[in-house]
């Protein structure tokens, strides 16, 4: 599938253009593939359990603070659903039921799947741990000179620096 981004006068549009590009990238790289390893004991009607988990992730990426916002924020986005390969998104109640059906074993599987997703992209995995990892925390709020390396004006307890 070729995705093109441009301004149109069409009715079918999405406010989540950058997210659509990210979803296409995820599909090509099979980034979210490990979610299919989570074997949730629920029946598959229209959406597989892994598809529902992906839609829960999508709700987070679109800024939904709770799943109840999914129906108003994400579900109407038919163009975004088409990019994901769906006719439309699931209802938030189906997503909630899927999360409710997770057992302790499923949560362990989900933890493993999430680690498989983020670890290849983590910069911590690429750090040379034979040397030191320097962390510099200065919470004193004392002013520093303009000559200090990477110094910036800051804000401490209502005092401008």
What pLDDT digit, counting tens, does each position of 23-54 carry?
Answer: 888 989 999 999 999 999 888 888 999 999 99
pLDDT beyond 70 at 65: yes
At residue 140, the pLDDT reads 67
At residue 134, the pLDDT reads 72
pLDDT per residue as tens digits for the range 103-152? 999 999 999 999 999 888 787 777 777 887 777 666 666 666 677 666 66
At residue 42, the pLDDT reads 87
List b or e across 125-159, with b for residues whose CB sees 16 or more CB atoms inside 10 angstroms.
Answer: eeeeeeeeeeeeeeeeeeeeeeeeeeeeeeeeeee
**Span 91-104, average pLDDT:** 94
Q: Which of 63, 19, 38 is nearest to 5 (CA)?
A: 19
What whole-number distance in Å separates Cα of residue 153 and Cα of residue 150? 10
Indicate the pTM of the whole model.
0.70
What whole-number distance in Å separates Cα of residue 105 and Cα of residue 43? 18
The neighbour count for residue 83, using CB atoms within 10 Å, is: 21
Helix intervals (H) in the chain:
17-29, 49-61, 70-73, 78-83, 92-100, 104-118
**Span 59-86, average pLDDT:** 91
List b or e across 52-70, with b for residues whose CB sees 16 or more CB atoms inside 10 angstroms.
Answer: bbbbbebbeebebeebeeb
């Amino acid at each position: 599938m070729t995705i093109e981004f441009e301004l149109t006068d069409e009715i079918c549009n999405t406010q989540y253009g950058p997210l659509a590009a990210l979803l296409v990238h995820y599909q090509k790289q099979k980034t979210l593939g490990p979610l299919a390893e989570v074997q949730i004991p629920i029946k598959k009607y229209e959406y597989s359990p892994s598809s529902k988990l992906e839609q829960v992730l999508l709700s987070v990426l679109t800024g939904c603070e709770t799943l109840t916002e999914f129906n108003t924020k994400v579900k109407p986005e038919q163009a975004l659903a088409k990019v994901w390969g769906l006719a439309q998104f699931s209802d938030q109640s189906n997503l909630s039921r899927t999360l409710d059906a997770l057992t302790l074993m499923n949560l362990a599987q989900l933890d493993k799947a999430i680690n498989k997703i983020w670890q290849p992209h983590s910069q911590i995995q690429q750090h040379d741990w034979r040397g030191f990892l320097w962390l510099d925390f200065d919470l004193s709020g004392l002013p520093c000179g303009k000559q200090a390396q990477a110094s910036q004006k800051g804000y401490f307890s209502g005092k401008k620096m």
